[in-house]
Amino acid sequence: MPKKVGIVGMGYVGLTLAAALGRRGYTVHGVDANPSVVEALSNGRIHVFEPGVEEAFEEFLGTSIHISDRLPAAPLDAVVLSVSTPVDLSTGVPQLDNLAAAAEQVAEVCGPETLVVVRSTVPIGTSRAIVLPVLTARWGRARLVMAPERTIQGQALRELVELPQVIGGLDEDSLRAGVELFEGLADQIVPVSSLETAEMVKLSNNCHTDLIYAFGNELALIAEQNGLDPLEVIRATNLDYPRPDLAKPGYVGGGCLSKDPYIMLASAGPTHRPYLVGQARSLNERLPAHVAERVVELVGEAFGRTEGIRLSVLGWAYKGWPATDDMRGTPIADMMPVFTAAGLTVQGHDPLVADEVIRAYGGEPVSLDKAFATADAMIIINDHPDYRGIEVEARLASCGLRVLFDSWRILDEDAVVRHGVRYAGIGYLAKERAS
């Protein structure tokens, strides 16, 4: 008999898990407190772009996938808590009210035989300190595991199966139940010794990613000060060298990487203040504004002014590949104040981000054709395949572009420079071609 699973919180984490479990024969009851999310999902309208999710809902909605604002009264084998745990960036304090409320709902509807799975990213100790007391206050005992989500946007349904699923349990009975639950989904299960170990695994993954990207960005800023090409430095450093590769410079955003370092910092306690985690996050957070200032500087050099210059911004989502429409941690949020202060007129294009979202961030949506045809200057923020495939010669032959900031260095630099366009990237400025 397929397992009956409730999922509280139908954001990215809950939605992708519901689709994956539904495809594997589980009966899934997805729950969300937002009426608009419930209404949309109940009618098969997916509010998060993720390959395969819409197709899963088309096939299984109403049969193995059900959506509501409350958990069903019928017994459930497990309930997964996948609600958001935002961080108050003014204080650095994680907000756990959503998690506590989700635990309360489970405690009201279910009983001690239901396995409760914490899947939200939380400070170390949260499952035991926040969720467990809510359950035991009503039930007397509880079965509780922490099973972190570690997928990358754009590949979630594949990675939910292929990535090892880490599980930490309150006790042996809880751990066995957690392993049994996820054995029907993931190819490999990694049991760990405690709830806290599993909580720290997720934080460690994302903080390490943030840190290695920060080092690439640090190198780019040093190269910029010395007139060097950071990609040349990094490629030469990595080539056939039997040590960990250096990361290319780039923006580090999204719902996890921009938040989880703060959750790790909150886990450290009063006697130890982590140094690397906080410094890496600070550097990565400063990069978008630094790039925006560099763009404004180049525009000023090219035109003798910045007021009224038309800037096309390509790529508004926080990343381009794997493709997403996610605006959490997007670089443009910190760039727009710089562009606005300089008097630039900003127009925007993104293959997935809706026009109304671009407008909400202060840009005027345009087609890719118009972005080139009408721009005085351009910045490509993310590396979506549509931008990687830009035919530079054709695009630049009939436009008046004079500055092109290619954040990820995905275009043909020589072709750009041949057209008399000033070409730059993160930590890099191409030499101007002699006329």
Instruction: Name the percent of the chain in helix, strand, coil, to the closest 5.
Output: 45, 15, 40
Average pLDDT along the chain: 96
pLDDT classification of 274: cutoffs 50, 70, 90: confident
pLDDT classification of 349: cutoffs 50, 70, 90: very high
Supply the pLDDT for residue 239.
97
Residue 429, pLDDT > 70, answer: yes
Supply the pLDDT for residue 273.
83
Residue 10, pLDDT > 80, answer: yes
Centre a 10 Å sphere on the Cβ of residue 191 and count the other Cβ atoms it contains.
17
Supply the pLDDT for residue 123.
98
Centre a 10 Å sphere on the Cβ of residue 383 and count the other Cβ atoms it contains.
19
According to DSSP, the β-strands at 422-425 and 428-429 are antiparallel
Supply the pLDDT for residue 398.
86
* Residues 194, 197: Cα–Cα separation, whole Å: 5
Per-residue pLDDT of 100-125, as tens digits, reads 999 999 999 999 999 999 999 999 99
Supply the pLDDT for residue 1.
42
Question: Which whole number is the average pLDDT over 352-357?
Answer: 98
211-220: b or e for each residue (b if 16 or more CB lie within 10 Å)? Answer: bebbebbbbb
pLDDT classification of 236: cutoffs 50, 70, 90: very high
* Residues 298, 314: Cα–Cα separation, whole Å: 17
Supply the pLDDT for residue 147.
99
Per-residue pLDDT of 12-26, as tens digits, reads 999 999 999 999 999
Q: Alpha helices of 268-407 — where are they, by DSSP H? A: 276-303, 332-341, 355-360, 368-373, 385-388, 392-396
Per-residue pLDDT of 318-330, as tens digits, reads 999 999 999 999 9
- The two three-digit tokens of residue 175, written as one number: 């751990």
Per-residue pLDDT of 58-75, as tens digits, reads 999 999 999 999 999 999
Question: Which whole number is the average pLDDT over 211-217?
Answer: 98
Contact in structure between 133 and 116 (CB atoms under 8 Å): no
Residue 433, pLDDT > 80, answer: no
Question: Which whole number is the average pLDDT over 309-313?
Answer: 99
Amino acid letter, 37: V
Per-residue pLDDT of 360-394, as tens digits, reads 999 999 999 999 999 999 999 999 999 999 999 99
- The two three-digit tokens of residue 424, written as one number: 């730059």
Per-residue pLDDT of 195-211, as tens digits, reads 999 999 999 999 999 99
Residue 3, pLDDT > 80, answer: yes
* Residues 400, 420: Cα–Cα separation, whole Å: 10
Per-residue pLDDT of 28-38, as tens digits, reads 999 999 999 99
Question: Which whole number is the average pLDDT over 179-183?
Answer: 98
Per-residue pLDDT of 285-306, as tens digits, reads 999 999 999 999 999 999 999 9
Supply the pLDDT for residue 375.
98
pLDDT classification of 435: cutoffs 50, 70, 90: low
Q: Which of 259, 255, 257, 237 is nearest to 246 (CA)?
A: 237
